[in-house]
A and B are shown apart, each in its own frame.
Chain A
Amino acid sequence: MANKIPRVPVREQDPKVRATNFEEVCYGYNVEEAQLEASRCLNCKNPRCVAACPVSVKIPQFISEVAAGNFSRAAEIIAEDSSLPAVCGRVCPQETQCEGSCILGIKSEPVAIGKLERFVADWSRENGGVKPVVAPANGHKVAVIGSGPAGLACASDLAKLGYDVTIFEALHRAGGVLEYGIPEFRLPKDKVVAAEIASVKALGVKIETNVIAGRTITVDSLFDEEGFEAVFIGSGAGLPRFMNIPGEHYNGVFSANEFLTRNNLMKAYRTDYDTPIRTGDKVVVVGGGNVAMDAARTALRLGAETTIVYRRTEKELPARVEEVHHAKEEGIQFAMLTNPVEVLGDENGWVRAVRCIKMELGEPDESGRRSPVEVPGSEFEIETNTVIMSLGTSPNPLIAKTTAGLETTRRGCLVADENGATTRPGVFAGGDAVTGAATVILAMGAGRQAAAAIDRYIQSL
């Protein structure tokens, strides 16, 4: 029986070594490992994994090609549904999506779908890539705002259908969160991100960097002056949240966005760049999501003793299990059931400590999660030089404010239906700009839905 083979472990950089460098943690499968792992797939008739994938990658089909050694065919199958397989294979939360619904997971371990996707994508890239399949040009122009996962997915699908697509990116590098947010050690920038973006460009998509929607151009100017017939807004999450506790603006308190952008986009970890970043000897990261793990593991690699402070228990950590596991292996301290109440500064206005309070879990709230309550009199101080707030983001108001007819929710997210249609005809939106901070793959899914809807919209004009 195929499923008697245990899940093939993936090789990783030694935790002690990788805690001091920014090279990729996971080495990925080699050919033999990939084929052995692929042979575990039962090739279900009604594959639950496909239904659980936000972009519906034909998982059993590509895996059976891997098992048979037809890697290039496997890459073609994935490319039909995903424009960023090397990214998704690395950063998707497979345990709650495809792998989480794998039949094998009931009695033993699910097929390592993510690692196989990564293998296929990496193999394909190193062996010439997938030849782009593009319909003849149809003469219609579509603008995409933001070159993150939502924008890239939307642009790719439209380009394949023959549309003339231009992506406008505010920063100086394309990729959005893949470039500024997720660190090199999880997602190599030149090897993986740049290569995936190059393959999107190979479909004919144009990318203009340094263009800010709502400032340099507006949605209206795209329609009225530049002849676009539809606009997709995939502008991402936005403004970092803070706790609103005393001392939060002392020097040495950063948002995770700032800390990660300085390190990833601005490459502050590299000595050949004139871009600063500052950690001191000790860093406290507040929050429990993937972004908090990324910030903590970055601080650790920059040489700081790093502690994650989270108000619930480890069980409730929203971060992927693999990220938490890696963080622990690397030596990150976890202070659970702990919440900061004040940041303390020295006489020069620099952070010297965080005053925290112990928490305990109370009754479950409406969401079913047990909400943390303070333990009276349990305050204590954690000495630190830097505090990184990783508490999520609230939407950037720029595009909504400068575009007539775009409604937002009470929280400031763009209103869009399940096809990504906003309240203004011809304007579509998806990803974090609509949902608030979520995952790469959900943003890609939204980008694909919107691409299909944009196609229907333009064909109906």
Chain B
Amino acid sequence: MLTPIICRMKVEAPRLAAAAQPGQFLIVRADEQSERIPLTISDYDKENGTITIVTQKIGASTSEICAYEEGDSFADVVGPLGIPSDFTEMPAEELAGKKYVFIAGGVGTAPVYPQVKWLHERGVAVDVIIGAKTRDLVIYKEEMSAVCDNLYICTDDGSEGFHGLVTGMLEKLVNGEGKVYDQAVAIGPMIMMKFATLTCKKLNLPVIVSLNTLMVDGTGMCGACRVTVGGKVRFACVEGPEFDGYLVDFDEAMRRQRMYVTEEKDASEHHTCRIGRGR
């Protein structure tokens, strides 16, 4: 457990580990009766055939996953899904001179890690801002500082680092400290990505966001993940998950994300009951 509500685990999935790239995600199913849930890939080890995933307890299925002991296994793990981050396709010379800033919020810090690591391994300058409610909820602090140039922590309550939001930190870096970036990448709760995008717009900084929409199959079949990007319908699973933040209709995306809040709550309460009865 990284925090009381966020857990990290290594999963053996050789085909998936061999194919995984930064920016991609996967889908797991805890057991025969569970939802398929999309999760981000926070690391992969091609030699040992494992991937690392980080998940936050939200509903029935994620709570079940977080209760796993070492040696347990998922009913299904499938991926990698989605298009790898843009920079993985960029020619080395184009990438070399660029300065990246990553804005990571909460559990969204985990998928930022493989991207930062990938860039760092190729000598690209990367700064990272991690935002969390309070210091106990900051994840990946040590791992991240090992693979980035500068790490900035912000907490809502000021218990660690900058007292305030990631957007305030970014403004401080650019306007206050004169930092210059070519590209921002924001990954975290939808609301954070919305405001990070607004701040980037103000700073005239291009920003990529990674959309954690609802999904069923994750292969382009169901359309549950549809988002409006630049006025067009796009499927986050096969055409994303990363999009140009400036073009995303965040308000619609946030509304769609809340579609099953009631059912998830019911399912987790129902779930507790069953465990109580010694299922």
> Beyond A258-B222, A266-B35, is A215–B80 a contact (Cβ under 8 Å)?
yes
A residues in contact with B219, CB < 8 Å: 170-171, 212, 396, 398
Q: Chain B residue with minimal CB distance to A255? A: B223
Q: Chain A residue with minimal CB distance to B84? A: A215
In contact, A180 and B223 (Cβ under 8 angstroms): no
A residues in contact with B223, CB < 8 Å: 239-240, 242, 254-255, 257-258
A residues in contact with B79, CB < 8 Å: 212, 215-216
Q: Name the interface residues of B225-279: CB closer than 8 Å to any CB of A.
A: 226, 228, 233, 235, 238, 252, 255-256, 258-260, 263-264, 267, 270-271
Q: Name the interface residues of B154-210: CB closer than 8 Å to any CB of A.
A: none
CA distance A255 to B60 in the complex (A): 25
Shortest distance between the CB of B51 and any CB in chain A (Å)? 12
In contact, A210 and B220 (Cβ under 8 angstroms): no
CB < 8 Å: which of A244, A261, A266 contacts B221? A261
> Beyond A180-B221, A211-B15, is A275–B264 a contact (Cβ under 8 Å)?
no
CA distance A278 to B258 in the complex (A): 13
Shortest distance between the CB of B34 and any CB in chain A (Å)? 6
Q: Name the interface residues of B98-141: CB closer than 8 Å to any CB of A.
A: none
Bitwise, A260-273 to B at CB < 8 A (1) or not (0) is: 01100111000011
Q: Is B76 an interface residue (CB 8 A)?
A: yes
In contact, A274 and B35 (Cβ under 8 angstroms): yes
In contact, A261 and B256 (Cβ under 8 angstroms): no
In contact, A276 and B255 (Cβ under 8 angstroms): no
Q: Is B16 an interface residue (CB 8 A)?
A: yes
Q: Is A172 an interface residue (CB 8 A)?
A: yes
CA distance A426 to B252 in the complex (A): 45
> Beyond A210-B77, A216-B16, A216-B19, is A172–B29 a contact (Cβ under 8 Å)?
yes
Q: Name the interface residues of A323-350: CB closer than 8 Å to any CB of B.
A: 349
In contact, B238 and A172 (Cβ under 8 angstroms): no
> Beyond A217-B19, A239-B238, A398-B219, is A251–B34 a contact (Cβ under 8 Å)?
no
In contact, A249 and B35 (Cβ under 8 angstroms): no
CA distance A252 to B258 in the complex (A): 11
Q: Name the interface residues of A353-399: CB closer than 8 Å to any CB of B.
A: 396-398
Q: Is B53 an interface residue (CB 8 A)?
A: no
Shortest distance between the CB of B126 and any CB in chain A (Å)? 26
Shortest distance between the CB of A44 and any CB in chain B (Å)? 42
Q: Is A47 an interface residue (CB 8 A)?
A: no
In contact, A349 and B61 (Cβ under 8 angstroms): no
Q: Name the interface residues of A216-254: CB closer than 8 Å to any CB of B.
A: 216-217, 236, 238-240, 242, 244, 249, 251-252, 254
Q: Is B75 an interface residue (CB 8 A)?
A: yes
Interface centre among A216, A217, A254, A397 (most CB of B within 10 A): A216
In contact, A238 and B220 (Cβ under 8 angstroms): yes
Q: Is A209 an interface residue (CB 8 A)?
A: yes
In contact, A396 and B255 (Cβ under 8 angstroms): no
> Beyond A210-B77, A240-B222, A396-B219, is A274–B258 a contact (Cβ under 8 Å)?
no
Interface centre among B33, B76, B77, B220 (most CB of A within 10 A): B220
In contact, B33 and A273 (Cβ under 8 angstroms): yes
Q: Is B39 an interface residue (CB 8 A)?
A: no
In contact, B35 and A210 (Cβ under 8 angstroms): no
B residues in contact with A274, CB < 8 Å: 33-35, 60-61, 267, 270-271
Q: Is B151 an interface residue (CB 8 A)?
A: no
B residues in contact with A254, CB < 8 Å: 223-224
CA distance A199 to B76 in the complex (A): 23
In contact, A212 and B78 (Cβ under 8 angstroms): yes
CA distance A158 to B59 in the complex (A): 45
Interface centre among A244, A266, A397 (most CB of B within 10 A): A266
Shortest distance between the CB of B78 and any CB in chain A (Å)? 4
> Beyond A172-B29, A396-B221, is A251–B259 a contact (Cβ under 8 Å)?
yes
Q: Is B95 an interface residue (CB 8 A)?
A: no
B residues in contact with A272, CB < 8 Å: 33
B residues in contact with A262, CB < 8 Å: 216, 222
Interface centre among A251, A258, A272 (most CB of B within 10 A): A258
CA distance A349 to B254 in the complex (A): 11
Q: Is B81 an interface residue (CB 8 A)?
A: yes
In contact, A249 and B81 (Cβ under 8 angstroms): no
In contact, A170 and B35 (Cβ under 8 angstroms): no
In contact, A240 and B238 (Cβ under 8 angstroms): no
A residues in contact with B81, CB < 8 Å: 212, 215
In contact, A251 and B220 (Cβ under 8 angstroms): no
In contact, A397 and B35 (Cβ under 8 angstroms): no
Shortest distance between the CB of B233 and any CB in chain A (Å)? 6
Bitwise, B25-44 to A at CB < 8 A (1) or not (0) is: 00001000111100000000
In contact, B271 and A251 (Cβ under 8 angstroms): no
CA distance A266 to B34 in the complex (A): 8
CA distance A209 to B34 in the complex (A): 17
Q: Chain B residue with minimal CB distance to A260? A: B222
In contact, A240 and B76 (Cβ under 8 angstroms): no
Q: Is B217 an interface residue (CB 8 A)?
A: yes
Interface centre among A239, A255, A396 (most CB of B within 10 A): A239
In contact, A261 and B78 (Cβ under 8 angstroms): no
B residues in contact with A180, CB < 8 Å: 217, 221
In contact, B222 and A172 (Cβ under 8 angstroms): no
B residues in contact with A236, CB < 8 Å: 221
Shortest distance between the CB of B261 and any CB in chain A (Å)? 10
In contact, A216 and B75 (Cβ under 8 angstroms): no
Interface centre among A210, A254, A258, A272 (most CB of B within 10 A): A210
A residues in contact with B216, CB < 8 Å: 258, 261-262, 266
Shortest distance between the CB of A259 and any CB in chain B (Å)? 9
A residues in contact with B76, CB < 8 Å: 172, 209-210
B residues in contact with A239, CB < 8 Å: 220-221, 223, 235, 238
CA distance A266 to B263 in the complex (A): 15
What are the 6 tightest A-B residue pairs by CB atom distance, in nearest-first order? A276-B263, A258-B222, A210-B78, A255-B223, A240-B223, A172-B76
Excluding A216-B15, A261-B221, 16 further A-B contacts by CB distance (< 8 Å) are A172-B76, A180-B217, A210-B76, A210-B78, A215-B80, A216-B79, A217-B19, A240-B221, A244-B233, A258-B216, A262-B222, A266-B35, A267-B33, A274-B33, A275-B33, A349-B255
- Which B residues contact A (CB, under 8 angstroms)? 15-16, 19, 24, 29, 33-36, 60-61, 75-81, 216-217, 219-224, 226, 228, 233, 235, 238, 252, 255-256, 258-260, 263-264, 267, 270-271
Would you give 8 A-B contacts (Cβ < 8 Å), ordered by A? A171-B78, A172-B78, A251-B259, A254-B224, A258-B224, A272-B33, A275-B35, A396-B221
